[in-house]
Amino acid sequence: MYFNNLDWLIIGGYAIGLISLAYYLSRKPKGEERSAEDYFLAGRSLPWWAIGASLIAANISAEQIIGMSGEGFVVGMAIAVWELTAAIALIIMAKYFLPLFLEKQIYTMPQFLEQRFDRRVSLVLSFFWIIVYIFINLTSVLWLGSLSINALTDISIENALVFLALFSLAYSLSGGLKAVAMTDIIQVVLLIFGGLSVSYIALNLISDSTGIINGLKIVYQDMPEKFDMILSKDNPSYSSLPGIWILIGAGVWIGHFAYWGFNQYITQRALGAKSLKEAQKGVMFAAYLKLLMPFVIVLPGICAAILFPLLEKSDQAYPSMMTLLPNGLLGLTFAALIAAIVSSLASMTNSVSTIFTMDVFKNFSKNEPSQASLIKVGRFTAVASIFIAALVAKPLLGSFERVFQYIQEFTGLFTPGILVIFLVALFWKKATTLSVLIAAIASVILSLAIKFIMPELAYIHRMGIVFFISGFACFLTAYLQGYQDQIKAINLSDINFSTSKAFNINWIIVTVILAITYLTFG
């Protein structure tokens, strides 16, 4: 048992404070009815700092902190490609995707597809995302979060699962997206502080208290291969991070654009912005935060390879590193870990409830449901989804040693088709309903076929192959159907894609930072 009374006091204070703040921020004036827009999109009133912080809080959770630190333990800094290059994907999303989505005033990604195609596409994607969010995203966050709690406390994995589920609901269920997004700035500050504290203590310990710079030098001298940003072919992890292709290959960018551009629990923050410019500022803020993540998440895993070289499982790296922290700081860092977990859980359950309520329940209702009934259904869905995930987390994920790699592999099966659907929906007037459904089906079938026929092929290469073949299947179907502009197609000439001077300057700065990083350590 590593915690003392001070640690528990800090953790308890954090939990009570977060719930209280969430209820305060999401309160409505007496007698005023809460609308579905208030609950699911924060009344479209989110400021830039809440959007940026909430994007990172929704993204960085147990599967990132525990899983990616574990990959840092095994692979090293090369795994940070998913964090660093995400900054570019975020910027492109802000410039080219957000203007189209905000122009449509949508609640969900499936709703956009219904406007562009028809209800069939919307319902297929709605049920697909609900299943994925519950059985992949929620389960992985709950499972890895409960493992980390179990590793540091006397709390059993099962009780930790229940605690995380109840805590996430306690602060998000009443106020919806506003309660989540407006408190995420606290979650992100805690997350960054906690990760940097772990790195600082570890490097100082490695250097025998002579400073973190000396500690970093020692780590680099002892394990220089851990700082290779681009892996060579003789590296055991080359199959999952195949050299220069992880940077310039189609696969990594397919994953990024599908996740950051069209993933409901990510884009929902931007959809709740008070304006397009505010949303773009928030996304740029998130891009800068992404550049910090290797120091917050990956570096502790690399340090663990020196301090705890004999770990049974790589996913034990971050929890093991936390045991080095002094009491008080341990409690605060543990609160940061919980913050990352529950903010992602709250974001995911809110997105599941939004999709089910607005795209499934509302579509199948015989009469137009009231605002109160929409919110009631949304809350019930949030509760049901997280408790289903808690029940199936151990059976689904208990046997995996590297959960982060499992998540990447699994999502890679359908990500190419998702990206094809949305890209043609946004930018190709001739795309038809049948063409995108064919692309979606082809994506899954091809991904599974290639995985079984060529299991040694890196999944990012597989994603690239499947993306182009699915895209061709979409084109061929539309061609055979007459190859005509569709009535519901978006007229791009009506959309203003221009961005502010500050946005463009920051885009250049982020790109230069990335270029220097890879030229220096590649």
Show Cβ contacts of residue 429 under 8 Å, excluding neighbours closer than 6 positions: 485, 486, 489, 490
pLDDT at 400: 61
In the predicted structure, residue 481 carries a pLDDT above the cut 80: yes
pLDDT at 425: 94
Residue ranges of the alpha helices (H) in 207-275?
Answer: 212-222, 245-248, 250-256, 262, 264-271
pLDDT at 29: 64
pTM: 0.87
Instruction: Identify the DSSP state of 238.
Output: T
- Residues 416-430 pLDDT 10s: 999 999 999 999 999
Window from 138-142, 280-284, 446-450 with minimum mean pLDDT: 138-142
Q: What is the mean pLDDT of residues 113-123?
A: 89
Please, are residues 252 and 24 in contact by the beta-carbon 8 Å criterion?
Answer: no
pLDDT at 231: 85
Q: How far is CA 464 from CA 132, 246, 379, 412, 467, in A?
A: 21, 11, 38, 10, 5
Query: Looking up tokens 């795309």, which residue turns up?
Result: 431
The domain spans of the chain are 40-404+494-521, 412-490
pLDDT at 455: 85
Percent of the chain with pLDDT over 70: 96
Better-scored residue on pLDDT, 345 or 23: 345
Q: How confident is the model at residue 201 (pLDDT cuts 50, 70, 90)?
A: very high
Q: How confident is the model at residue 1 (pLDDT cuts 50, 70, 90)?
A: low
Rounded to whole angstroms, the Cα distance separating 230 from 228 reads 5
Q: Which CATH class is domain 40-404+494-521?
A: mainly alpha
- Residues 228-277 pLDDT 10s: 888 888 888 887 788 888 888 888 899 899 989 988 878 888 888 889 99
- Residues 279-337 pLDDT 10s: 999 999 999 999 999 989 899 999 999 999 888 888 788 888 888 888 888 888 888 88
Determine how many CB atoms are found less than 10 A away from the CB of residue 225. 12
Q: How confident is the model at residue 45 (pLDDT cuts 50, 70, 90)?
A: confident
Q: How confident is the model at residue 484 (pLDDT cuts 50, 70, 90)?
A: very high
Please, are residues 154 and 401 in contact by the beta-carbon 8 Å criterion?
Answer: no
- Residues 78-98 pLDDT 10s: 898 889 999 999 999 999 999
- Residues 8-35 pLDDT 10s: 999 899 888 888 888 887 776 666 667 7
Q: How confident is the model at residue 467 (pLDDT cuts 50, 70, 90)?
A: very high
Q: What is the mean pLDDT of residues 213-222?
A: 91
Q: What are the helix and strand counts (H, E) for the chain?
A: 28, 0
Q: What is the mean pLDDT of residues 437-442?
A: 92
